[in-house]
Structure 1
Amino acid sequence: MLHLRLITPADRTDEVVRLAEKTVGTTHLVVLPGAARNPAGDVVMCDVAREAGDELIAGLRRLGIDDTGSIAVENIDLSLSRRADKAEEEAPGEGADAVLWEGLTDATHEESTLSFTYVAFITLATMIAACGVVLDNAILIVGAMAVGPEFGPLAGVCTALVRRYPRLALRSLTALLVGFALAMAVTVGFTLFMDAIGLFHRSDLEGKRPNTAFVYAPDAFSFVVAVLAGIAGTLSLTSAKSGLLVGVAISVTTVPAAANAAVALAYGDTAQTLGSTDQLLLNLLGILLAGTLTLLAQKWLWARQRQRTVRADGF
């Protein structure tokens, strides 16, 4: 269930209430006239089944409540109510399959901003991975994958393509490309520093590396894994199971490939630089393709579900 807290102008409250009442899956409707002060207006609260949430939020935006008032949405972790149970039963489809498009757009917008924190995380992840490739340490590689924040901009691009939001696409691509470029540039300097103090050696990079050689040797499995990870990551975002993103992060070699390319570039190893860059681009392409197609499939399946529900209800 979702909890909506709305601030509405007094002259729009009746329309908002009617919309909530006619939306299947809505319950616990509360109206507090004149309770809001900034902006001034009425406060309307209700609970809605997740599978009906996108319809209600879209209707509220058509009424302009996001411009003239406020729409706040929270997930309800526990709701002990027969009315809530009934609302979820009446709502079409399953809550786990529902996509809150407004929530997804907002989340990916926030995660795909080229901020200091984003750049810091991707840079630190790349430097950790650089230590991993030089030491041929798989544990460090996995740790770097978990730290990397690159799935946010990747999801932002996918969402922007499906929803046709060019600004979100540009913002996400900027964060993705500039973030990796800065991280790799810093890692080149980090590699030269570590070499100067005797902690990195070129022989370590060019020697046998059974645990990490895969990061500069892309093959068909690299693309397959990236596609599967893109599907899993997108589903984890749309179903609010964000904990699965950690598993997604450690299944693709974006950050390790960027790190290996930076270390190889510092040592002038053209072959590993090009191979790692190919690995990075292949993984990014696989995730973008899979994520976009997954969102399109979810959109199509949910539309079919809605049509079947409408026909079954006789409307």
Structure 2
Amino acid sequence: MLHLRVVTPADTTERALDVLRDRPGTAHLIVHRGAAVSPAGDLIEADVAREAADEVLEALCGLGLDHSGAITLEALDTALSDAADRAEATAPGEGADAVVWQELVNRTGEESRFNATFLAFLTIACLLASVGIVTDSPVTIVGAMVVGPEFGPLAAIAVGLVLRRWDLVRRAALALALGFPIAMLVTAGVTMLTWVIGLLDVSGFRESHDVDFVYRVGWYSLIVALLAGAAGMLSMTSAKSAALVGVFISVTTVPAAGYAVVAAVVGEWSKAAQSFGQLAVNLAGIVAAAAVVLLVRRRKRASVTVRPLPEVEKSLW
């Protein structure tokens, strides 16, 4: 179940209540007359089955309440109520299979922003990957995979492509196009510095290592990327976020970027080129599979209407 809160002008309250009464999957309808101060109006609360939430949100947005009032949605961990059980029983479909498109757009839109936090995580992940490669430590490579934040923008690109939200695609592409080069440049500088001062022996990189799988691109790389992209999008659309950890540690996006940096520092240009190829294959495979999952899970109706994202800030920071 999801908890819905709607701030509505007084003259729109009855129409909003009709929306919630007429649609299956709603329970515990409450109205607080005159409770809202800014924006002024009434406050409506209800619990909504996840499989019914998308249609409810679309109908409320059709009343203009996303402009004249406010609509918020949050997950309920526990709902002990016969009314809630009836709401879930009457709602069409299964909650685990339902996609709340507005929630998905807002979530991926937020995670796709290029900001200091995103850049910091990506840089730290690349640095961890470079250390793991130089020290031949698969465990450190796995740590870099988990820390890397790149799945957010990749998921946003898939959502933008499916919904034709080019603003979302541009925002996510900007985050990746700026984030990876900056993180790799910082990693290159740190790698060279640690080599010069003798903290890490980068010269041993030319020997065979247990982490050489990172740069060896092949069909398996595409297969793993496709499976990871599909699993990641299923996780996001079904609100089963625990599965995302498995996605993070199954693809070699950040490790490939770190491997390319270390290879370039020591002059192994062939390995650096293969690492860039590995990175490209993983990025493309994740986006393609995530988009296919969204197309399969999309409702049969012709279009899905979602509220536009806020404009990208003039300052990247």
Normalized per residue, the structure richer in helix is: 1
| Aligned equivalent of 2:45 | 45
Normalised to the residue count of structure 1, the TM-score between the two structures is: 0.94
The one-letter code of the counterpart of 1:158 is: A
Structure 1 CA distance for aligned equivalents of residues 113 and 202 of structure 2: 36
SS at match of 1:242: coil
Paired AA for residue 109 in structure 2: H
- State the partner residue of 2:208: 208
Question: Percent of aligned positions with the same letter in both sequences?
Answer: 49
* Corresponding residue SS for 2:27: strand
Aligned residues of 2:160 and 2:166 also touching (Cα < 8 A): yes
1:295 matched to which residue of 2?
294
Q: Give me the whole-angstrom Cα distance separating, in 1, the residues matched to 2:106 and 2:32.
A: 27
1:34-113 pair list within 5 angstroms: 34-113=34-113
Deviation at 1:244, TM superposition (A): 1.1
| 1:1-315 correspondence runs (5 A) | 1-209=1-209, 211-299=210-298, 302-303=299-300
Q: Which runs of 5+ in 1 are unaligned?
A: 305-315
Structure 2 equivalent of residue 313 of structure 1? none
Distance 1:272 1:177 in 2: 22
- 4+ residue runs over 4 A deviation: none
* Counterpart-to-counterpart distance in 2, 1:68 and 1:235: 33
Q: Distance in 2 between matches of 1:23 and 1:227?
A: 37
Distance 1:18 1:240 in 2: 28
Aligned length: 301
The whole-number CA distance in structure 2 between the counterparts of 1:80 and 1:242 is 23
Give the C-alpha shift of residue 265 in structure 1.
1.4
- 1:199 Cα deviation from its structure 2 partner: 2.6
Structure 1 residue 203: deviation in Å? 2.8
TM-score between both structures, scaled by the size of structure 2: 0.94
Query: What are the ranges of 5 or more consecutive residues in structure 2 without an aligned counterpart?
Result: 302-317
CA distance in 1, matches of 2:192, 2:251: 26
Deviates more, 1:239-248 or 1:80-89: 239-248
What is residue 312 of structure 1 aligned with on the other side? none
Letter in 2 for 1:236: S
Secondary structure at the counterpart of residue 54 of structure 1: helix
Alpha-carbon offset, residue 78 of structure 1: 0.4
What is the SS of the residue equivalent to 1:72?
A: strand
Letter in 2 for 1:165: R
- Give, in whole Å, the separation in 2 of the partners of 1:136 and 1:65: 56
Letter in 2 for 1:303: K
1:4 partner amino acid: L
Amino acid at match of 2:174: T
Tell me how large the CA RMSD over aligned residues is: 0.9
Secondary structure of 2:54's counterpart equals helix
Secondary structure in 2 aligned to 1:74? strand
Q: Distance between the aligned counterparts of 1:19 and 1:164, measured in 2?
A: 27
Deviation at 1:216, TM superposition (A): 1.1
SS in 2 for 1:295: helix
Give the whole-Å Cα distance in 2 for the aligned partners of 1:154 and 1:287: 7
